[in-house]
Structure 1
């Protein structure tokens, strides 16, 4: 089986793929060498890929390299099944690349908008010829709520979970609706504008806030919370030739 390790800012996902199909996803708030040893002792793994957006435990990487027949630490020199049209590819987030690869697998020869809603919201465009054309980055729901609290004198720091009316009836609901619906309407705006250029545009919504936002979006979208994992597995296959 293939082991996919996606280390984010707050949580690490470890996923198992067999013959290109996702089997299980495991979540770890703390990821280190002990986590890796316990996981490898419990599962039969043939190859692995590691992708991170933050600092990581080098001992964990060393264990993966020692114990597995094939291990790839994903970086900007890794082979990709798509073309990169970004002017500064070395600055492009690896999670963004993986999400686009995951979308390309499911929609070959199609223009695709990939919206990844997490700490930030990224909007990435894949053209029909398989080129990552570029994208935009905006603050996510919790960043918007935190910014309102930190850059004003009286607005409280609130949680994104809770009642989200169309029009707020209290300071808390006004802030939450402004943040959540602001992102949802922003997504719909991107879809509407890009549909004028790409009439057959497919739209994927992924990331930690995908389900929360999907309920607020009226445009046709495809929710895939595991798009990055699927893309990382495809990148592993491309590099390991498996």
Structure 2
């Protein structure tokens, strides 16, 4: 059984692959203060609840944008799963060429998403990852990662608005009935949901205009479902794209 782990700034997404089948997926909060044994205790409890015997895990792939937790998960994998994890980083084979000014500064999750998208669709792609940050990653028709754009995520934008104002409350990020909000909460929901839909549409349109031919647009990340319901700009919604990419890269490097 292959366990894939995507360590993000807000959420840690995990998937258990039985061959090429995603047998289980789960998410836990990212907490910098947790120790390896604490995360191990959590996983050893959650995996059986999702139908996975922890003893069946003998392979692990890790993608992390939170350096303090990278080592913690590598340690727990060795100690509790007796597996040497493959941690995606410089030198890891991914199947995509990185055409950036400084390839080492590109987040591992962005590379994993690009590799997964190109493997799945075999054409030029724009991957829009709607998570803590909103990233737009562009893959050419020949499988080259050529860059993209990064914006604040809708969740942290909503939190910043509440934190930096005296009168605005915390809100649930959901679609309002109308753009013209008839209460403060509805007005904030309109600004967040419809505003970020416009942001995504605008940046994707600008990226498409710079490409030689139209690229497929793929949505992933925790807020993909929310924003995909508001626009027809996405050709596909792939919530498990990063997990699929981790599996792909693991076998590419450990074959």
TM-score range with shorter-chain normalisation?
A: 0.7 to 0.9
TM-fit CA distance, 1:106: 0.8
Could you state the TM-score of these two structures normalised by the residue count of structure 1?
Answer: 0.87
Aligned to 2:187: 174
TM-fit CA distance, 1:87: 1.4
Q: 1:17 to 1:198 in 2, by over 3 A?
A: farther
Give the 3-state SS of the residue equivalent to 2:91 in structure 1. coil
| 1:204-230 deviation per Cα after TM superposition (whole angstroms, max 9, x unaligned) | 000000000011012242000001111
Which sits farther off after the overlay, 129-138 or 6-15? 6-15
Give the 3-state SS of the residue equivalent to 1:56 in structure 2. helix
Aligned to 1:150: 163
TM-fit CA distance, 1:91: 1.8
Distance in 2 separating the partners of 1:192 and 1:86? 21
2:248 counterpart of 1:239:
no
2:240 counterpart of 1:217:
no
TM-fit CA distance, 1:63: 4.2
2:212 counterpart of 1:205:
no
Which sits farther off after the overlay, 59-68 or 96-105? 59-68
- Tell me if structure 2 keeps the 8 A contact 1:32–1:57: no
Q: 1:74 aligns with which of 88, 110, 116?
A: 88
TM-fit CA distance, 1:167: 2.4
Q: 1:90 to 1:84 in 2, by over 3 A?
A: same
- Tell me if structure 1 keeps the 8 A contact 2:3–2:60: yes
Distance in 1 separating the partners of 2:169 and 2:76? 45
Q: 1:148 to 1:59 in 2, by over 3 A?
A: closer
When the two chains are superposed, the root-mean-square deviation of aligned CA atoms in Å is: 2.4
| Paired residue total | 240
Aligned to 2:102: 88
Aligned to 1:32: 39
Unaligned runs of 5+ in 1: none
Give the 3-state SS of the residue equivalent to 1:32 in structure 2. helix
